[in-house]
Amino acid sequence: MLLEEDLTQAIIGAAIEVHRVLGPGLLESLYEECLCHELALRKIPCRRQVELPIEYKGLKLGAGYRIDVVVANTVVVEVKAVERTLPVHEAQLLTYLRLSGLHVGLLLNFNVEVMKRGITRRVL
């Protein structure tokens, strides 16, 4: 069984609905806002633009990073609207997982014709 399978399937369902209604070609921030609205309609808690403080050998560094969406304090969601996802986007997701201590992440690229092709799931 996949870690957080039910929750990630619910997030994917919400993303597919947002994509079905809006289609590709819009800004990431719009997809992020609409995804969170869709999750709220489904009574799935989420937070947007979650600060990810970085600590280096006892030195707390300013908020260098923000996670697009954290769902149910369990799943990191990185929202993209790019021609195609690149290895750097997956690396970004994995870094957010490592630094946040969470284990499951979704990279959702809304700039695709079929949303199913824009979904990448990663587990640390």
Q: How far apart are CA 44 and CA 121, in angstroms?
A: 18
Q: How far apart are CA 77 and CA 108, in angstroms?
A: 7
List the pLDDT tens digit at each of the 124 positions of the chain.
567 899 999 999 999 999 999 999 999 999 999 999 999 999 999 999 999 888 889 888 876 789 999 999 999 999 999 999 999 999 999 999 999 999 999 999 999 999 999 999 999 9
Q: To the nearest 10°, report the CA torsion of 41, 76, 122, 56.
A: 180
Predicted structure pTM score? 0.92
Please list the alpha-helical segments (H only) found in the chain. Answer: 5-22, 28-41, 87-100
